[in-house]
């Protein structure tokens, strides 16, 4: 996709990651990011609360995951429904074209404790979203919570493996594999 076809929020996120890689997170201002994206500073603040927010704009991810879990076949187990959700993330969010940016994003977050806090909170929200989506399929609350905990572990494994610089597999493949490994480890606890 050509750069100018991307929406403003995505352009700002891409510009931010470029700048963070070039000159560091601390040495990049919101104005720098807006200018690199060819947008006004005010546009930045329509999309993100602060500089930190530009790395955590992906609330679309939550909505797509929840929708896909709801749309999984009626007979699917909670973990199978999660796998359907991960398939959609692989198709729409963690696409091969976005892998390089994800690698840069991880490097920035790994270097800053305050960004790790925000990432941790996002992980908590993601787990809660998965639990709610599974419960809405008629699964009792606690079983939905357990499935979401296992799903969160598989998601973390998949995200790390997929965004490893040496990886060549697609996200949905990596995620289904991680989910299978987690499920296989359950009887050992």
Of 162, 133, 158, residue with least CA distance to 147: 133
In the bound state with a second copy, the residue whose beta carbon lies nearer, of 35 and 183, is 183
44-81 in b/e form (b: 16+ CB < 10 A) is beebbeebebbbbebeebbebbbebbeebeeeeebbbb
In the bound state with a second copy, the residue whose beta carbon lies nearer, of 57 and 123, is 123
Fill in the per-residue mask, 133 to 162: x = in contact with a second copy (CB under 8 A), - = not in contact.
------xx-xx-xxx-xx-xx---------
Token pair for residue 175?
A: 């995620």
Of these, 63, 67, 124, 160, which contacts a second copy (CB under 8 A)?
A: 124
- The reply on whether position 60 binds a second copy by CB under 8 A is no
Token pair for residue 73?
A: 């076949």
- The reply on whether position 177 binds a second copy by CB under 8 A is no
SS3 for 135? helix
Q: How far apart are CA 94 and CA 173, in angstroms?
A: 12
Residues in the chain: 189
- The reply on whether position 116 binds a second copy by CB under 8 A is yes
Q: How far apart are CA 175 and CA 116, in angstroms?
A: 22
- The reply on whether position 182 binds a second copy by CB under 8 A is yes
Residues 63-82 that bind a second copy (CB under 8 A): 77-79
- For residue 154, the minimal CB distance to a second copy (Å) is 10
- The reply on whether position 59 binds a second copy by CB under 8 A is no
Residues in the site for a second copy, rule: CB under 8 A? 77-79, 116-118, 120-121, 123-124, 139-140, 142-143, 145-147, 149-150, 152-153, 181-183, 185-186, 188-189
């Amino acid at each position: 996709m050509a750069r100018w076809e991307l929406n403003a929020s995505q352009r700002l996120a891409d510009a931010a990651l470029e700048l963070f890689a070039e000159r560091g997170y601390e040495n990049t201002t919101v104005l720098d990011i807006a200018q690199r994206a060819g947008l006004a500073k005010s546009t930045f603040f329509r999309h993100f609360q602060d500089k930190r927010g530009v790395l955590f704009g992906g609330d679309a991810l939550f909505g797509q995951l929840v929708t896909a879990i709801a749309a999984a076949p009626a007979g699917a187990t909670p973990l199978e429904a999660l796998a359907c959700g991960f398939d959609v993330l692989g198709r729409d969010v963690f696409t091969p074209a976005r892998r390089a940016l994800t690698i840069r994003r991880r490097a920035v977050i790994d270097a800053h404790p305050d960004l790790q806090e925000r990432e941790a909170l996002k992980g908590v929200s993601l787990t809660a979203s998965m639990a709610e989506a599974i419960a809405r399929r008629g699964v009792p609350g606690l079983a939905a919570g357990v499935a979401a905990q296992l799903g969160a572990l598989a998601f973390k494994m998949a995200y790390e493996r997929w965004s490893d610089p040496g990886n060549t597999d697609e996200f949905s493949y990596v995620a289904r594999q991680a989910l299978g490994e987690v499920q296989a480890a359950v009887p050992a606890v």
